[in-house]
Amino acid sequence: MHHIIAGWKFLMNKNHDQNEIILGVDTHLDVHVGALINTAGKLLGTLSISVNTQGYLDLLSWASSFGELKRAGLEGTGTYGVGLCRLLTDNGVSVFEVNRPDRVARRCRGKSDPIDAENAARSVLSGLSTAIPKQHAGACEAMRIASVARRSAVKARTQAINQVRAILVSAPQNIREKLWRVKASDCVKACIKSHKFGESPLLITLQSTLKCLAKRWIMLSSELQELDKQLEQLTQSHAPKLRSRFGVGPNTAAILLSVAGDNPKRLKSEAALASLCGVNPLPASSGKTVRHRLNRGGSRVANNALWIIAMVRMRSDARTRIYVERRTNEGLSTKEIQRCLKRYIVRELYPLILGDLENTGELLT
């Protein structure tokens, strides 16, 4: 009797697996293309939908008509596919992030939206795509948005003062000596307070342009102060443990939290976070040569945030200075020491990131 029940359960599970279907989606700005395969790898069909709520519901209804939809692979879960990703997750579908197909495979099979969607589904079926996408909802998403705006404001402000200095370099000598200042804020104030240079078209245009660029610099500085205030409040409220570490400021904390995402359960270990930040050494051994190389992937913004923390600690943290001295005596260069420090910093900060999100209720279960 026991064997009969076990056999019946096996057949039920087998039939259940046969009814499962896997969805792959190639996402774009205006149109998404979905492809369905079964667990045997057979292509069941493709469908193009509009990028709106009704289109998402049509895709879900179409897919469910073929069987039980449990898994889906999406390209661009953080950009074009974020809306569809949310809807599928809310309906109990496990969504996995799919990277772009390998270029060698693409050259062999060709390129089209249905092919890319089918490849996305097959990568989930084969187990190649296992990354859980970010939720893009919560404090981490707020930090990411503010950080994006801050980086663009910093670049634009730097560009404005560089243009002011470039114009002053080629300006008439008396004007250059009158307005040139070493400190950026002093140079901008001098341009704002400048009086009429002369009556010629060159001098009139020169004065108006310098004042325009100076006002732009002041406006961007005001934006930066407001964004810094937002990041300070967000990180102090949602990441007190992370902020308590030496060298971790509001900007670097916000960047690292936005990389982890509002659902850090997607990071199985601190090594996963190191990979996302591009600080994990990659094996590059061949034959008798055993070595590792630098990881040039991952989030370069997060990599830069770790570099800033490492530089602050190398200058001001006694423990880090002792480590740097020891490694220097061992023959390591400054860049090699910085790479080691960034990896150790990730190991130190990973549990703090998880702890902060758990305490604030951001960790999704």
Encode pLDDT of 310-351 as tens digits.
Answer: 999 999 999 999 999 999 999 989 988 999 999 999 999 999
Q: What is the mean pLDDT of the chain?
A: 87
- Which whole number is the average pLDDT over 292-315? 90
Query: Over 80: is that where the pLDDT of 184 sits?
Result: yes
How many angstroms separate the CA atoms of 109 and 103, rounded? 10
Contacts of residue 47, Cβ cutoff 8 Å, sequence gap at least 6? 33, 34, 58, 59, 62
Higher-confidence position of 292 and 192: 192
Region of 104 (left: φ > 0; alpha: ψ -120 to 50; beta: rest) is alpha
pLDDT of residue 296: 82
Nearest of 361, 346, 347, 360 to residue 255 by alpha carbon: 346
pLDDT of residue 262: 72
Q: What is the C-alpha radius of gyration for the chain, rounded to an integer number of angstroms?
A: 27
* Range with the largest mean pLDDT of 72-86, 99-113, 261-275: 72-86
- Does the reported pTM lie above 0.75? yes
pLDDT-derived band at 305, boundaries 50, 70, 90: very high
pLDDT-derived band at 10, boundaries 50, 70, 90: very low
pLDDT of residue 276: 86
Cβ neighbourhood burial of 60 (10 Å; 0-12, 13-18, 19+): buried
Q: What is the pLDDT of residues 329-340, one digit of tens each?
A: 999 899 889 999
Q: What is the pLDDT of residues 84-101, one digit of tens each?
A: 999 998 999 999 988 876
Nearest of 257, 245, 220 to residue 139 by alpha carbon: 257
CA 236-239-240 angle, to 5 degrees, is 65
pLDDT of residue 363: 47
**Which residue type sits at 237?**
S
Higher-confidence position of 92 and 297: 92
Higher-confidence position of 165 and 195: 165
How many angstroms separate the CA atoms of 15 and 208, rounded? 77
Tokens of 349: 């900060």
pLDDT of residue 264: 67
Helices (H) and strands (E) in the chain — how many of each? 15, 7
Flag the least confident range among 119-128, 152-161, 308-317, 354-363. 354-363
Query: Over 70: is that where the pLDDT of 110 sits?
Result: no
- Which whole number is the average pLDDT over 160-173? 94
Query: Residue by residue, what is the 3-state secondary structure of 74-140?
Result: EECCCCCCHHHHHHHHHCCCEEEEECCCCHHHHHHHCCCHHHHHHHHHHHHHHCCCCECCCCCCCHH
Q: Which long-range contacts (CB under 8 A, 24 or more apart) does 59-64 make?
A: 59/23, 59/25, 59/32, 59/34, 59/84, 60/87, 60/88, 60/91, 60/93, 62/34, 63/21, 63/23, 63/34, 63/36
Contacts of residue 3, Cβ cutoff 8 Å, sequence gap at least 6? none
pLDDT of residue 360: 61
pLDDT-derived band at 102, boundaries 50, 70, 90: low
Nearest of 222, 221, 197 to residue 208 by alpha carbon: 197
Would strands 20-26 and 68-75 be described as parallel, antiparallel, or unpaired?
A: parallel
- Which whole number is the average pLDDT over 35-58? 92
CB 155 within 8 A of CB 69: no
